[in-house]
Chain A
Amino acid sequence: MNRLAVELPGLSLKNPIMPASGCFGFGKEYGNLYDLSQLGAIMIKATTLETRFGNPTPRVAETAAGMLNAIGLQNPGLERVMAEELTRLQQHDVPIIANVAGSETEDYVQVAEAISKAPNVNALELNISCPNVKCGGIAFGTDPKLAAELTSAVKAVSSVPVYVKLSPNVSDITVIAKAVEAAGADGITMINTLVGMRLDRKTGKPVIANGTGGLSGPAVKPVAIRMVYEVSKAVNIPIIGMGGVTDAGDVIDFLSAGASAVAVGTANFVNPFVCPEIIHALPALLDELGLETITELIGRSHAV
């Protein structure tokens, strides 16, 4: 028996660990460092209909125990992601979650329909929470009505289950979560980054060319844990939790808060081997806690 296995809509995960979208490219670079088949899944970089160059540089800035980024959804566009990136990923025995982004409903729908037909794409992650693009992105993720409409439009065309990636930049995240659940979402991934800003001491101006950026890293973990806790009580669909995960202990925390699987983002930049290291460390932590399987951890925080 595999103690780490988790079953989610569209995803038979050999373990609940996956690199988060935007922090792993399309897997090529990390695939040169270790065998990607070890991973539970891979959330590939956001794909848009057309090629996007992204934002001007500087695009990243370090902050206390975290970093800001404003990459701006740079990607080669649907056609090349399908032809080159997804084709290359077929050599690995690992489910792919394709992150779908756009400016308006129509391009989300087109990307979702096409990419969901790729043989190794097992689920979509609907990106309605990117804080770094002018059109689309977060606008869909902060309005429950728009979020629901986009979710049903994408659900109608997708050949695979649809997970919706929520933004933490809202006053009540459960409202959006319930809206996308009602619209047919198969699961939720959360949280995207928190909008932040860092100023240059000499000039007083923002360090990042975009002005604001998305905050990630260990600094955001308590916010993410709180939100996963709230959303898991509010909805009945599974959650893939993320935000500041750096080690196996953090994974325990996210599962306890109510997530069913966990994505690792910024930590990949600090330690490119972090995902396999976490996977290898999990069984010993289960032993310490006296648990047989990892699914026993899910939602422990809610037990009366």
Chain B
Amino acid sequence: MIVQNRMTICATRQIADNIIEMVLEGSLVKEIASPGQFVHIRVTDTFEPLLRRPISIASFDKEKEQMTLIFRAEGRGTQLLAAKQIGVEVDVLGPLGNGFSADNSAPGETALLIGGGIGVPPLYQLSKELTAKGVHCVHILGFQTATAVFYEDEFAALGETRIVTADGSAGEQGFVTDSLARNPVDFTTYYTCGPTPMLHAVQQTFHDKQGFLSFEQRMGCGIGACFACVCETQTGQDMPYVKVCSDGPVFPAGVVAI
């Protein structure tokens, strides 16, 4: 169920260039249904900026009623959020959208988790859930440069983890797909989140595999009412479009036209 909750910031720290890891506590956490869902945060009590900011959930702990968000403090809204201190309450709407389902991999199988930049966070909770049920996870995490890299150790604790940077300053040089071309991984299902060109490349490379992609789009309401975040589908007539916020953000491969 979607709730509006004033959540308390219980930890916040910078974990890479402009990347903030923030832990929020509140009863909303009990409603989270799957990794890859997001929350819509009001960063100010004024109308400047006006709209909420959609931020994906990196991990959560229902017993403690805590969730961890990882976001890039880039624009006005996320910078305001990043400046908030421990103990401050934040207006959070969520959980929103349909996330990844760990049910798509069976114990003993290998899952390939491919993340790009700020698309990496939702894969963390997914990997925790997959590894907990005995799925073998391989993580390919792409970043621009060494100072942008985060959560390498956290992912490494769950399974094989490759860091790929565009400039080669950390891990392998190139894009995630370059790394996979050089050293292929034998897997059953892939899960990916990141910039659209990366999603496109991943979907093309693994067109014969089962895959799930998490999309990003400018949003208004976050609940499916405003039609700001629509994407055309490949399936066409029956379902000409989908809304990233309420139909997604996670879709099976081949649904969204990219």
Contacts and interface: CB of A to CB of B under 8 A. Distances in A.
Interface stretch (B133-141, B166-174, B224-232): B224-232
Interface string B206-244: 000000000001111111111111111000000011000
Contacts of B229: 57, 59
B117 to A, nearest CB: 18
Contact of A65 (B4, B47, B222): B47
B47 A69 contact: no
A71 B225 contact: no
A59 B49 contact: no
Contact of B230 (A57, A270, A271): A57
Contact of A64 (B4, B48, B221, B228): B48
A74 B225 contact: no
Contact of A25 (B4, B218, B225, B230): B225
B256 to A, nearest CB: 12
A268 B222 CA distance: 11
B4 A58 contact: no
B106 interface: no
B50 interface: yes
Contact of A54 (B42, B217, B223, B230): B230
A295 interface: no
B12 interface: no
Contact of B49 (A22, A32, A62, A269): A62
Interface in A113-140: none
B52 A59 contact: no
Contacts of A62: 49-51
A23 interface: yes
Contacts of B224: 25, 28-29
B16 interface: no
Contact of B51 (A29, A57, A59, A269): A269
A60 B47 contact: no
Given A65-B50, A217-B47, A272-B4, A60 B228 contact: yes
B218 A74 contact: no
Interface residues of A, number: 35
Interface in A10-66: 22-25, 28-30, 32-33, 51, 53-54, 57-62, 64-66
B246 interface: yes
Given A29-B246, A53-B241, A270-B52, A71 B228 contact: yes
B11 interface: no
Given A269-B221, A270-B42, A218 B50 contact: yes
A266 interface: yes
B85 to A, nearest CB: 23
A29 B221 contact: yes
A64 B47 CA distance: 8
Interface in B116-159: none
A218 B48 CA distance: 10
For B221, B229, B246, which residue has the most chain A Cβ atoms within 10 angstroms?
A: B221
Contacts of A67: 50-51, 220
B176 interface: no
Interface in B2-58: 2, 4, 42, 47-52
Contact of B228 (A53, A59, A273): A59
Contacts of B240: 51, 53
A165 B140 CA distance: 53
Contacts of A58: 218, 228
Nearest to B231: A57
A212 to B, nearest CB: 16
Contacts of A54: 227, 230
Nearest to B3: A33
B199 interface: no
Contacts of B1: 32
Nearest to B77: A62
Nearest to A58: B218
A25 B226 contact: yes
For B4, B50, B52, B228, which residue has the most chain A Cβ atoms within 10 angstroms?
A: B50
Given A60-B226, A64-B48, A33 B2 contact: yes
Contacts of B222: 269
Nearest to B219: A60
A260 interface: no
A167 interface: no
Contacts of A218: 47, 50
Contacts of A32: 1-2, 223
24 contacts: A23-B225, A23-B226, A28-B224, A30-B225, A53-B240, A57-B229, A57-B230, A60-B228, A62-B50, A64-B48, A65-B47, A65-B48, A65-B50, A69-B226, A71-B227, A217-B47, A268-B225, A270-B50, A270-B52, A271-B4, A271-B42, A272-B93, A272-B221, A273-B4
Interface of B: 1-2, 4, 42, 47-52, 93, 217-232, 240-241, 246
Among all A-B residue pairs, the 3 with the closest Cβ atoms = A25-B225, A269-B221, A60-B228
